[in-house]
Structure 1
Amino acid sequence: MKKRLLTVAIVAAMIASLAGCSNGDNKTNAKADTTTETTADTGKENEKDKDYVIGCVLISGTIQHCQLFKQGFEETCAANGAEAVVLDANYDPQVLISSINDLVAKGCDGIVVESCDANAPLAAIKEAANAGVVVAAADMYLDISEEDGTVISQTVSDNYSGGYECGEDVVKRADGKDFNVCIMELQTNTSAVDRVKGFQDAIEGHDNIKVLDIGTPNPENLEQKVAVCDAWVEKFDKIDAIFCYHDPAAIACVSSLKAAGRLENTFIYSVDGNEENLIAIKNGEVTGSAKQDPYKMAQASTEDIFTVLNGGAIDHDYLTKVPITYVDASNVDEFLK
């Protein structure tokens, strides 16, 4: 227990020191559990009859990925002369649901939903659509079909490819030798499911690579992510690689392995491309991360809302997959500020 408390304290300090998202860079600065309103004059005559109010619910405003998503949403609203209202679900499906309801009550014309759960917000979204609110989903694919008619579009990363590229790197590094792998997953997150599936498909058929265990943090918080890796360290004498469904889990694994003195011999992979993970790649603590583009996801979803509000028709597929970029020591400097 003392070891686990120490490990959690270490990883909390790492994330706090590395994130740096609230210092010096106004473009990526966001706070959890806050409402942000932005209005801008584009300088152009607006053809719409009213000033729109557009809402957005974030997965968690404390992580850089969501801060960049928030930036993309707010700047797109500003470019369209609209008021932006941002709420933070902080990884909590119930807060997500209440946030959607709050945005409807505020009179929002449209809502961009960055969900932390694939199914939890569906009823709230349908109620919003029935009330005349235009809803677009981004970042996580929701279990709503185009035929349902409640969501105008879904914009996500190419999560499968992100996991697949990490798996390909494991195959290359194993080079035919026996390789033991652990996977951290999250079944309630469709993006995480796709990433893990891509990773598993990449290593499938390579008999030298053995998956020792697949673990899930429950509930999804820092302590449980560390606990999953701590359990692996205690159970398995040799872990060659760990694949995590997102960057915060990878940072948790770094801390756990550091505390056990086993980081040097373990390759760690994840999907996100957050700055703290890029720094960890630079420092040789994380092997690779498939970098997403949350700004573009938010921008595309928000533009879809304005298209519909202004009487237009969306001219692309219901599901848009935004490409990812695999980052490791060979190219990490290109992405660090």
Structure 2
Amino acid sequence: MKLNSTLASATAVLALTAAGGVAADTMKIGITQNNVGVDSYQTTYEKAFIAAAEANPDIETVVLDAGGDVARQIAQMEDLIQQEVDSIIIWPTNGEAVIPAVRKAHNADIPVIVTNSNIAEQGFDFVASFSGPDNITQGSRSAEIMCDKFKASGIEDEARIVQISGQPGYTTAIERAKGFEDRLPEVCPNVTLVETQPGDWNREKSQKVMEAFLVKYDDIDGVYSGDDNMGVGALNAAKAAGRDGIIFVGATNFSVGYEAMERGEYWGSIYQSPVDDAEAALQTAVDVLSGKDVPFLNYFDTPKITQDNMGEFDKPVF
């Protein structure tokens, strides 16, 4: 079985929506993204979003990238409001800082769809829907992957781990860390999380973080990273230092993580498609503009992937 999410056919659904005449007028949808150039997930997401929009003649898009800059993203939100777009999709650079701009769009009667990483809860009243993964569940599943491997290795009562989290203040980073930290003591109560440091979704920075961990701690049994890009950075540091036997688990399986799993160097992760992510966000905006009943938290599934079951999954394209 080659796995795709239930929203993998969103492009086709978009075309059917247009053909059915639900939206007789062109829908102008603006998107402001977090930071397209920071990793291959976001680059692939943008390409998939543009392709899905181009497949529907009744959609016009304004595609913007904040480059990781909160002030730039707020300015982009204000620009989209001035353009009087029909809907705005935002991939937040910071879950709290963007709330005033989201509120401003809401007050202008422009429905806002939050994609991939949610905003802080105090901004929920200004959002039509969130489309993306359940990041707390992802963190929880990563903890289960880690614990299961410790039990199989017979070290669940003594293992020590470090965590490399994503960008501080970024909701996905916060939620994946919370899911992991809450679930780990439930399934492996004697495992010790000795330290957490941010890797900012960056492989090179994460490698440096791991280098510091390796100097500081003689005994590291496992590493949990908020995505495989950071996880492979940590793996590279361990390999360079000759530290064998460390179990690496991530969340969001990048191609580099998949390849490291094939080599037997990286144990497991969470399977998530940026194509499904992008198509789901666009479809959610279309559904909202078409007057359909859309759940506030519109999650797509992100299952566990390990060396044991990776043959059931396509290699990520990002």
Which TM-score bucket, shorter chain as reference?
A: 0.7 to 0.9
| 2:315 alignment partner in structure 1 | 336
Deviation at 1:324, TM superposition (A): 0.6
TM-score for the superposition, normalised by structure 2:
0.81
Find the residue that maps to 1:272 and give its secondary structure: coil
Amino acid at match of 1:321: Y
Find the residue that maps to 2:161 and give its secondary structure: strand
Residues 170-221 of structure 1, C-alpha deviation per residue, up to 9 Å, x if partnerless? 222222422110012244122222222222233205354111211124x665
Amino acid at match of 1:210: T
CA contact under 8 A between 2:141 and 2:180: conserved in structure 1? Answer: yes
Say whether residues 1:321 and 2:299 are aligned partners: yes
User: 1:3-14, aligned counterparts within 5 Å?
Assistant: none
CA contact under 8 A between 2:103 and 2:123: conserved in structure 1? Answer: no
Give the distance between the partners of 1:64 and 1:332, measured in 2 at CA. 20
The change in CA–CA distance for 1:156 and 1:226 in structure 2 (over 3 A counts) is same
Find the residue that maps to 1:211 and give its secondary structure: strand
Give the distance between the partners of 1:171 and 1:45, measured in 2 at CA. 49
1:108 to 85, 89, 94: 85
Residues 106-144 of structure 1, C-alpha deviation per residue, up to 9 Å, x if partnerless? 442211111232112111122223233221001111125
> How many pairs were matched up?
293
The change in CA–CA distance for 1:142 and 1:73 in structure 2 (over 3 A counts) is same
TM-score for the superposition, normalised by structure 1:
0.77
The change in CA–CA distance for 1:195 and 1:42 in structure 2 (over 3 A counts) is closer
1:134 to 111, 133, 136: 111
Find the residue that maps to 1:54 and give its secondary structure: strand
User: 1:25-174, aligned counterparts within 5 Å?
Assistant: 44=19, 46=21, 48=23, 50-62=25-37, 63-80=39-56, 81-144=58-121, 148=125, 150-174=126-150
Amino acid at match of 2:299: K
CA contact under 8 A between 2:160 and 2:220: conserved in structure 1? Answer: yes
User: 1:281-300, aligned counterparts within 5 Å?
Assistant: 281-300=261-280
| 1:27 alignment partner in structure 2 | none
| 1:25 alignment partner in structure 2 | none
Give the distance between the partners of 1:115 and 1:269, measured in 2 at CA. 25
Residues 54-110 of structure 1, C-alpha deviation per residue, up to 9 Å, x if partnerless? 111222323332234324433443344212222222333223223323333444221
Deviation at 1:241, TM superposition (A): 0.5
Give the distance between the partners of 1:295 and 1:316, measured in 2 at CA. 20
Find the residue that maps to 1:303 and give its secondary structure: helix
Deviation at 1:47, TM superposition (A): 5.6
The change in CA–CA distance for 1:204 and 1:45 in structure 2 (over 3 A counts) is closer
Amino acid at match of 1:209: V
User: 1:172-211, aligned counterparts within 5 Å?
Assistant: 172-175=148-151, 176-177=154-155, 178-186=158-166, 187-204=168-185, 206-211=188-193
What percentage of aligned pairs have identical amino acids? 24
| 2:285 alignment partner in structure 1 | 305
CA contact under 8 A between 1:271 and 1:290: conserved in structure 2? Answer: yes
More RCO (CA 8 Å, sep 6+):
2
Structure 2 gaps, min length 5:
1-14
The change in CA–CA distance for 1:120 and 1:222 in structure 2 (over 3 A counts) is farther
Give the distance between the partners of 1:43 and 1:166, measured in 2 at CA. 39
The change in CA–CA distance for 1:46 and 1:140 in structure 2 (over 3 A counts) is same
Find the residue that maps to 2:46 and give its secondary structure: helix
The change in CA–CA distance for 1:303 and 1:193 in structure 2 (over 3 A counts) is same
The change in CA–CA distance for 1:222 and 1:296 in structure 2 (over 3 A counts) is closer
Structure 1 gaps, min length 5:
1-39
The change in CA–CA distance for 1:42 and 1:221 in structure 2 (over 3 A counts) is same
Give the distance between the partners of 1:261 and 1:163, measured in 2 at CA. 28
Give the distance between the partners of 1:141 and 1:328, measured in 2 at CA. 27
Give the distance between the partners of 1:98 and 1:280, measured in 2 at CA. 40
CA contact under 8 A between 2:162 and 2:223: conserved in structure 1? Answer: yes
Give the distance between the partners of 2:267 and 2:214, measured in 1 at CA. 18
